[in-house]
């Protein structure tokens, strides 16, 4: 990336405004908050490099691969290899495919380690994604398979200007007050633009811009910030809110008054921008399958590898020799210990689980690499409501409400089945220590946490709650043991590269062996990379 | 790492501390102790550690440090009676709490005193008998793994359970531990967007 700010800064022959200088200049006028949100525009990474599976040319018939785990990486590897003639087996410990992709619908089951068994009792047709739940447009591998399998696709959005933001523990009158995201965003764009426009038009910033470009910049700020072109003051229109809206009658729309800047600053210092525009992976519009993320794996992959898929089969040992691999697993329904062999193995078992397996025949450095990642504490809860009050009363159609309560994180509204009777809200999505604390509670207690807090924003929460909730604490799920891998810089440098290469005949694939742990695309790209390596070797060995 | 993510991580660390100040009485005081205030006594450290254990660690390691062992797949290790917890040199267990390991999350957001407190607590609770840990030891380990070690990690053999193995040099989250003054003390910033 060049050192020049985005696309909004002139970069033609008069280009002299560097990123550093721009930020210094913004900082000098608008204060730290403005400078920080300018910096956030650089949060850009992780565009999918490969957009389709590797070609894998040559005849692979007679060669065999055993794949451990039927999440996205395992299913992609199994499906692609089987298409090329490999004899494959996929061994999955859970009763379902998908791994960290888990659409919670009626009958879905979990049993957290040391916890109660949950069976989802949502009404037929009601659901939420308790694991992966939104697909960035840059994640071409996921979209490749959704297209190939013709999975019905809908929008997901993080940004809903009419959803709420609720900040606690801040100075001023906006403390513990649900405000519409648009009120914050439009006001801050207005004030920031006003400051910049005034400073630029009075030539206070020492910008090396031509007069023509300065005018263009000010014109843009007038548009961006809803500024009066007469005196460059922020003059909001109804974009921030309105009173007395009477569209068919005589009365004209009346914009609501902006919050004073000094009331907003403590709020935005904590909330940040509230739009995901500066984060490539969260920018609008994201997508998802129409009936939940599991569709990709249960309806797309599973029928295509069904003959080679073993569910409820818990791997206990991964053995290898110079000539092949041997997997010892327990068939859970019968309790029998069984063994299977293959030429190669691809393990997609999360490192948090693999590091506790009784026997894995790998070298010391590989083992150390397996143990070298920490896993994230992550929890989610879905609540079924009798009435879609967020749509009927609050005019919220999808998107997220943001809080700074770490036990809650965000509250997410469904982007499906609008205007129907009932719906499921993702009532918390939490991380870290707060997620650990909440996960120490029973399901009923977790629901109480969500109802208590949700009621501060939506007073309808308790009354409309339909008595049905389902939650997952990923760090307590026996076959996940964490939401996703968290590689420290040290581990990323010293351990991660080791796992990109096979150890003998054992290959590793999964979102945890990618630059984007916790995203399905990481799992798919990782699987594509590893099957290409494996295939090249298998072809050479004749 | 993107600026956004760095900021989110930094804020998350602070969020954690802010939450603790609310949930765990007394911790906030320790966080804000002025230089004139004496360092907490060993008993105070351990009491603080017990509060952290019973609100956070307990979600996985369970009451009484019992863990959740699952035949064949490991599960969550017990801390009671676990020699990895009680060996004389506390640095391996301190390092595990700081950096995470084998699926255990990293808890670097805690202060040296908090980690010393919780490690001291688990070394002495439920019949465990081992020395308390000085916060200076935590600071030392934190510093040691803030920079890549000069030599590659020492390979270790497969010994059955990770808990009985001596951890080699482990990783270090490089995120800043202070928010750079971005958010006033005591205020919980908005958590990360997540995946």
pLDDT single digits (tens) A267-309: 999 999 999 999 999 999 999 999 999 999 999 999 999 999 9
Residue A124 lies inside a defined structural domain of this protein: yes
- Rounded Cα gap, residues A70 and B163, in angstroms: 28
CATH number of the domain located at residue range(s) B40-148 in this protein: 1.10.760.10
Selected residue with higher pLDDT from B144 and A246: B144
Cα angle, residue B100 at apex, residues B94 and B105 outer, rounded to 5°? 125
Of A214-228, A403-417, B74-88, B133-147, the range with the lowest mean pLDDT is B133-147
Q: Tens digits of per-residue pLDDT, A216-270?
A: 999 999 999 999 999 999 999 999 998 866 677 777 778 999 999 999 999 999 9
Answer with the one of A223, A251, A275 that is the final residue of a domain. Answer: A275
- Domain range enclosing A208: 19-42+163-275
- Residue B17: the pLDDT is 40
Residue A169 pLDDT > 80: yes
Compare CB distances from A406 to B74, B172, B188 and report the shortest one's residue.
B188
- Rounded Cα gap, residues B18 and A248, in angstroms: 50
Mean pLDDT over each residue of chain A, to the nearest integer: 91
Residue B180 pLDDT > 60: no
Decide if A478 touches B, using CB distance below 8 A. yes
Decide if A475 touches B, using CB distance below 8 A. yes
% of residues, chain A, pLDDT over 90: 84
- Rounded Cα gap, residues A221 and A165, in angstroms: 25
Q: Which stretches of B97-175 are assigned E, i.e. beta strand?
A: none
Compare CB distances from A353 to B2, B73, B174 and report the shortest one's residue.
B73
Let me know: does A382 contact A424? Beta carbons within 8 Å: yes
Range A85-89 contact pairs with CB under 8 angstroms and sequence separation of 24 or more: A85/A59, A85/A60, A85/A61, A86/A60, A86/A61, A86/A538, A87/A61, A87/A62, A87/A63, A87/A342, A88/A64, A88/A305, A88/A308, A89/A64, A89/A65, A89/A308, A89/A310, A89/A340, A89/A342
Residue A417 lies inside a defined structural domain of this protein: yes
Answer with the one of A275, A305, A334 that is the final residue of a domain. Answer: A275
Q: Nearest-CA distance from A318 to chain B in Å?
A: 12
The CATH number of residue A391's host domain is 3.90.660.10
Handedness of CA B133, B136, B138, B140 (dihedral sign): negative
- Residue B38: the pLDDT is 77
Q: Nearest-CA distance from A252 to chain B in Å?
A: 37
| pTM, 2 dp | 0.84
Residue B137 pLDDT > 70: yes
Average pLDDT over residues A421-444: 97
Residue A187 in tokens: 């006001």
Domain count, chain A: 2
Q: Tens digits of per-residue pLDDT, A181-193?
A: 999 999 999 999 9
Q: How many helices and strands (H and E) does chain A possess? A: 18, 26
Confidence of residue A95 (pLDDT cuts 50, 70, 90): very high
- Residue B186: the pLDDT is 60
- Closest-CA residue of A relative to B164 is A356
- Rounded Cα gap, residues A148 and A301, in angstroms: 10
Residue B18 pLDDT > 80: no
Q: Are both A115 and A177 inside the same structural domain?
A: no
Interface contact flag, B7 A36, Cβ < 8 Å:
yes
- Residue B35: the pLDDT is 52
Q: Nearest-CA distance from A116 to chain B in Å?
A: 13
Average pLDDT over residues A161-184: 98
Q: Are both A33 and A170 inside the same structural domain?
A: yes
Q: Nearest-CA distance from B142 to chain A in Å?
A: 13
Residue A214 lies inside a defined structural domain of this protein: yes
Q: How far is CA A490 from CA A49, A298, A494, B139, in A?
A: 24, 37, 6, 18
Q: Are both A395 and A260 inside the same structural domain?
A: no
Of A5-19, B67-81, B161-175, the range with the lowest mean pLDDT is B161-175
Residue A45 pLDDT > 60: no
CA-closest candidate to residue A378, choices A102, A65, A119, A45: A102
The CATH number of residue A205's host domain is 1.20.1440.240
Between strands A506-508 and A344-347, the pairing is: parallel
- Residue A523: the pLDDT is 98
- Residue B75: the pLDDT is 86
Cβ within 8 Å of B, A 349-388? 350-353, 355-360, 363-365, 367-368, 370-378
Q: Are both A214 and A120 inside the same structural domain?
A: no
Q: Are both A271 and A169 inside the same structural domain?
A: yes
Compare CB distances from A364 to B55, B157, B193 and report the shortest one's residue.
B157
Interface contact flag, A494 B3, Cβ < 8 Å:
no
**Main-chain dihedrals φ then ψ at residue B76, nearest 5 degrees:** -110, 125
Residue A484 in tokens: 């996703």
Average pLDDT over residues A461-490: 95
Q: Tens digits of per-residue pLDDT, A312-326?
A: 999 999 999 999 999
Residue A318 lies inside a defined structural domain of this protein: no
Q: Are both A30 and A175 inside the same structural domain?
A: yes
Confidence of residue A25 (pLDDT cuts 50, 70, 90): low
- Residue B126: the pLDDT is 97
- Residue B195: the pLDDT is 83
Q: Are both A187 and A126 inside the same structural domain?
A: no
Q: Are both A113 and A170 inside the same structural domain?
A: no
Residue A258 lies inside a defined structural domain of this protein: yes
Residue A367 lies inside a defined structural domain of this protein: no
Answer with the one of A476, A497, A523 that is the final residue of a domain. Answer: A476
Confidence of residue A69 (pLDDT cuts 50, 70, 90): very high
Handedness of CA B165, B171, B172, B173 (dihedral sign): negative
Residue matched to tokens 């590659």 = B152
- Closest-CA residue of A relative to B5 is A43
A-B interface: how many C-beta pairs under 8 angstroms? 236
Residue A328 lies inside a defined structural domain of this protein: no
Paired with A410 in beta bridges are A402
Q: Are both A174 and A256 inside the same structural domain?
A: yes
* Burial category of A372 from C-beta neighbours within 10 Å (exposed 0-12, middle 13-18, buried 19 and up): buried
% of residues, chain A, pLDDT over 70: 90
Q: Tens digits of per-residue pLDDT, A375-400?
A: 999 999 999 999 999 999 999 999 99
Residue A472 lies inside a defined structural domain of this protein: yes
Confidence of residue A494 (pLDDT cuts 50, 70, 90): confident
Q: Are both A384 and A446 inside the same structural domain?
A: yes
Chain B CB contacts of A314 under 8 Å are 72-73
Query: CA A270: distance to chain centroid?
Result: 21
- Closest-CA residue of B relative to A131 is B195
- Closest-CA residue of A relative to B151 is A494
């Amino acid at each position: 990336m060049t050192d020049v700010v985005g696309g909004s800064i002139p970069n033609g022959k008069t280009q002299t405004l560097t990123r550093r200088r721009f930020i210094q200049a913004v900082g000098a006028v608008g204060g730290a908050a403005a400078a920080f949100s300018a910096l956030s525009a650089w949060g850009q990474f992780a565009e999918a490099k490969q957009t389709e599976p590797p070609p894998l040319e040559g005849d692979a018939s007679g060669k065999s691969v055993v794949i451990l785990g039927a999440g996205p990486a395992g299913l992609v590897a199994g499906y692609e290899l089987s298409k090329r003639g490999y004899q494959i087996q996929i061994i999955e410990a859970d009763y379902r495919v998908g791994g960290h992709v888990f659409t919670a619908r009626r009958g879905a089951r979990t049993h957290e380690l040391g916890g109660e068994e949950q069976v989802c009792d949502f009404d037929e047709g009601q659901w939420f994604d308790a694991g992966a739940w939104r697909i960035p447009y840059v994640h071409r591998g996921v979209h490749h398979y959704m297209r190939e399998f013709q999975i019905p696709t809908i929008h997901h959005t993080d940004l809903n200007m009419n959803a709420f933001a609720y900040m606690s523990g801040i100075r001023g009158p906006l403390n513990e007050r649900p405000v519409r995201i648009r009120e914050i965003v439009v006001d801050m764009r207005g004030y920031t633009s006003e400051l910049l426009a005034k400073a630029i038009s009075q030539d206070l910033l020492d910008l090396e811009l031509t007069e023509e470009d300065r005018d263009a910049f000010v014109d843009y700020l007038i548009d961006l910030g809803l500024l009066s072109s007469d005196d460059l003051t922020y003059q909001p229109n109804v974009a921030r809110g309105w009173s007395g809206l009477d569209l068919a009658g005589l009365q004209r729309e009346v914009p609501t008054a902006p919050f004073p800047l000094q009331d907003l600053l403590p709020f935005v210092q904590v909330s940040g921008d509230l739009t995901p525009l500066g984060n490539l992976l969260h920018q609008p519009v994201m997508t998802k399958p129409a009936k939940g993320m599991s569709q990709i794996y249960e309806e797309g992959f599973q029928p295509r590898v069904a003959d080679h898929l073993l569910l409820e089969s818990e791997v206990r040992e991964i053995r290898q020799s110079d000539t092949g691999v041997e997997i010892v697993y327990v068939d859970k329904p019968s309790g029998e210990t069984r063994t299977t062999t293959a030429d190669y193995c691809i393990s997609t078992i999360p490192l948090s689980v693999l590091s506790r397996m009784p026997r894995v025949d790998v070298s010391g450095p590989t083992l150390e690499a397996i143990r070298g990642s920490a896993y994230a504490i992550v929890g989610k809860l879905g609540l079924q409501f009798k009435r879609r009050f967020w749509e009927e009363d609050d005019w919220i159609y999808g998107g997220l409400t943001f809080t700074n309560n770490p036990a809650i994180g965000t509250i997410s509204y469904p982007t499906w089945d609008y205007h129907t009777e009932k719906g499921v809200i993702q009532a918390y999505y939490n991380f870290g220590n707060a997620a650990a604390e909440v996960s120490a509670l029973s399901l009923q207690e977790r629901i109480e946490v969500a109802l208590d807090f949700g009621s501060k924003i939506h007073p309808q929460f308790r009354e409309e709650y339909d008595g049905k909730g389902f939650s997952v604490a990923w760090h307590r799920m026996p076959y996940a043991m964490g939401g996703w891998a968290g590689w420290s810089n040290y581990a990323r440098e010293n351990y991660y590269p080791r796992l990109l290469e096979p150890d003998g005949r054992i290959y590793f694939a999964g979102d945890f062996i990618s630059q984007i742990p916790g995203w399905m695309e990481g799992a798919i790209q990782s699987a594509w990379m590893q099957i290409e390596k494996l295939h090249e070797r298998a072809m050479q060995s004749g | 790492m993107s600026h956004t993510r760095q900021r989110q991580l930094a804020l998350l660390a602070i969020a954690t501390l802010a939450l603790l100040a609310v949930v765990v009485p007394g911790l906030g005081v320790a966080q804000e102790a002025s230089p004139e205030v004496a360092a907490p006594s060993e008993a105070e450290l351990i009491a603080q550690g017990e509060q952290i254990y019973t609100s956070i660690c307990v979600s996985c390691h369970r009451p009484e440090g019992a863990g959740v062992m699952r035949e064949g797949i490991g599960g969550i290790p017990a801390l009671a009676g676990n020699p990895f917890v009680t060996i004389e040199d506390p640095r391996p267990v301190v390092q595990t709490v700081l950096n995470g390991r084998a699926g255990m999350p990293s808890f670097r957001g805690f202060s040296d005193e908090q980690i010393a407190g919780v490690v001291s607590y688990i070394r002495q609770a439920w019949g465990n008998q081992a020395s308390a840990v000085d916060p200076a030891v935590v600071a030392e380990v934190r510093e040691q793994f803030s920079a890549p070690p000069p030599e590659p990690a020492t390979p270790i053999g497969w010994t059955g359970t990770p808990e009985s193995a001596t951890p080699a040099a482990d990783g270090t989250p490089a995120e800043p531990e202070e928010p750079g003054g971005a958010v006033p003390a005591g205020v919980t910033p908005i958590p990360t967007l997540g995946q």
